[in-house]
Structure formats: C-alpha cells, structure tokens
Amino acid sequence: MSVLKKDQFVLPKGVIYLDGNSLGPLPKAAAARVQEMITDEWGEMLIRGWNKAAWMEQPARVGNMVAGIVGAPEGSVVMGDTLSIKVFQALASALKLRPGRKVILSDNGNFPSDLYMAEGLVGLLEQGYELRTVAPEEVTEAIGEDIAAVMLTEVDYRTGRKHDMKAITELAHANGAVMIWDLAHSAGALPVDLAGSNCEFAVGCTYKYLNGGPGAPGFIYVRPDLADEVQPALAGWLGHRQPFAFEQNYQPGQGIERMRVGTPPVIQLTALEVAMELWADVDMQALREASVALQEQFIEEIERDVPQLTLASPRNSAERGSQVSFRFEEGYAAMQAVIDRGVIGDFRAPDIMRFGFTPLYLDAEDVSKAVAIIRDVMENRLWDNEKYKTRARVT
C-alpha cells in the first residue's frame, strides 16, 4: 500500500528533502487556506471569528486529529503553546500525582529542552526534588520505588534510537511511577499506541513529521481516567471551567480542557489543520514499512559507497525511529556541502549528520540520488572549504 503524497507538498525543484524530522515541508493546500483565514475570517469577521469561525474550538478539534495518529482516544489531546511548555505541564502534574516521591528520571540522550524544563521545575519546587539522568540503555535498571515520574523521548533526536514504550511504561507502573512520553520524533513517523501503553501523559510537537510549519503548536495527552484529576501548574485562563466568567480564582476546566493555557495561535493552527487532513487516509503501519525500506536502502548504499561515514543509529530497524544518523568528524562542514548541492539534512553536535525519511514525499529514487551527492562530497572532499566550516546560528 503506497503512502506517497509527493504531489501534495511544495518541494523546491532540485531539492531532496531529508530534514522532515526538523521541519516538514509546506502542504500545497496550506497557503491558500491560511490566506483565506486571514482575509475572510480575521479580515471580515474580526473578533467575531472566535465564534463564527470556531477559533476557540480549534485546539480540541485539531487535537482529535493528532490523537488519531498517536493511538489516543477522542477528547484526550489538546493543542497549544510550545512543546517545552507542555513538558512542564506534564511534569508538574505528574509530581502532584506522587506527592511522596521526589525524583524525575530521564536519560542523558533526551532532548535538552526537556531536561532544562525539568531542571527549572526542580529549582522552583526545591524541597528536595531531583532530576536524575542515566544512559538510555540504563533506564530500565534505574526505575525504582523512589521515582515519581519517568520522562523519556521515545525516539532519540540525534541517533534515532527508539525506547520500548510499552515495556518501560509497564516497568514504571510496577514501581509506582508516572510515565511521560515525548513524541517529538514519533508522531507522524511511526505507529504510536498511547492508549495501549497506558501511560499517563504524552507531549509532542507538530512542525516535524506532521508538517504544521515553523512555530506550529505543541500538544499534550492526558490519560482519560486522570483528565479530571490532574492539577495543571500553569493554570491559564483558557484552562478555566468558565473563561469568560472572569472569576478571580482558578477552577479547572473539564477533562483535557484544563491543560489549555493561553490564547490559541489561530493562524498557525489553521496551517496545521490543513496538514493534518493529509493524514486522514494514511495507514501508519504502511507508512512505517515504507520508512524502514527507505532507511535500509540509505544505510546499505551509504556503507557501500561512502566509507568515510560511520553509522550512529541502531542497525536493527525495530530499534530506530524514522531517521538515520552517521558520524563524521567534520560533520557540520560535510552537511553544509551536501545541502549546498540540493540534499537537505541537518547536523547535531558533536559529529552527527542526520537524515529523516518521510514516505509521504520521499521515494527510492530520491534516496539513491541523495547518496550519489553525498558520495561526491565525501570522495572529493568538497566539504573541506572554509565557507562550510563557519557555523550558522541554526545547525
């Protein structure tokens, strides 16, 4: 079953885009829909758009679309704010569910922002709270009865290494801990079964594989049986049970609504809603199989033709997300040279050349063309040029 929808994306001529794990390309329908929203809704309706165009319901409506591809039931996911804010919300709520425990457990390969938010929360709470990090492969051994919450990103942002969501969640629960999953590199990349995992919380972003655009809002999932129990530390006015009653004291909204904070980014949500419509007929298992096939082809051809690069991702596809990373000492310069020749991947310190594989708009021919360009850059040392060695602000 093909999942290829290349004709529905804006893909610049001469570019092979292997960076959808950092920013997905523009869906062709998005620009017109956003312009319509700006002109016909914001322009003509003005403030009436909150009711007439159903802007206020958009975070829940789009949340249900996201829920459909992460294995969550309707009404358990809401959009808004950034992923970092959603991490903070989930962590703070998780700690309140385990008042007798003080340790947040994560791994040292987790995305830094997740760890920074945990550090910030620990600093605010004081009272002996602690963020404890271990190597990814040591997580299961570190889950003990002193852990309040386990916070992990399912797919490592550098290497693509994949945690076993169900097994780790079961272990966390066996030890009385709350489980939080970050799906930044999972949502839209591989099948996710939040309901089946039984985790309490999950968070994620939508500008990567979901193609919501730069700055697209994050999302948060709360297990339905806890939705009326969790206490959001960031008690924003739109998480209130009656925002427009303007009461002086916070009263949490019903269910997942209480995890809303501030005014939703309507323009950005409009672009995301269009992008999510592309997923309506996508079989996630078929997408996963196509992704793995592209990755396996890439690894085979790179290792055959480009011996200068060393595989950094797990060789077993079952242990990988939808990206493949290779190490090279001059990885930054090499990636810039590759990008300069039309193959867009990205670099992650200290030496990772990272490539994302999205079968919605990539095929086997794209992979072979990309490998040929990478081979040329490496074989002829085209990266060994000062213009490729000066690091830009975004790498």
Residue set of the binding site: 83-84, 111-114, 153, 182, 185, 207, 237, 263
Side-chain half-sphere CA neighbours of 22 within 13 A: 14
What is the spatial distance between Cα 60 and Cα 78, in angstroms, rounded to a whole number?
A: 5
For tokens 């893909």, the residue is 11
What is the spatial distance between Cα 256 and Cα 60, in angstroms, rounded to a whole number?
A: 9
Cα dihedral 291→294→295→301 (10° resolution): 180
Residues of 42-67 as b/e, b for ≥16 C-beta within 10 angstroms? beeeeeebbeebebbebbbebbbbbb
Annotation: binding site for pyridoxal 5'-phosphate? 83-84, 111-114, 153, 182, 185, 207, 237, 263
What is the spatial distance between Cα 347 and Cα 349, in angstroms, rounded to a whole number?
A: 7
What is the spatial distance between Cα 394 and Cα 19, in angstroms, rounded to a whole number?
A: 13
Which residues have a Cβ under 8 Å from the Cβ of 362 and sit 6 or more positions away? 6, 16, 17, 18, 294
Ramachandran angles phi, psi of 347, nearest 5° = -120, 140
231 token code pair: 């206490």
Decide if 301 contacts 326 (C-beta within 8 A): no
For tokens 């040029």, the residue is 385
77-79 and 346-348 as β-strands: parallel, antiparallel, unpaired? unpaired
178 token code pair: 């709350």
H or E segment to which residue 356 belongs? strand 352-356
Catalytic residues: 111, 182, 207-208, 354
Decide if 3 contacts 359 (C-beta within 8 A): yes
The one-letter amino acid code at 246 reads F
312 token code pair: 């950094």
Residues of 77-114 as b/e, b for ≥16 C-beta within 10 angstroms? bbbbbbbbbbbbbbbbbbbebeeebbbbbbbebbbeeb
216 token code pair: 């697209």
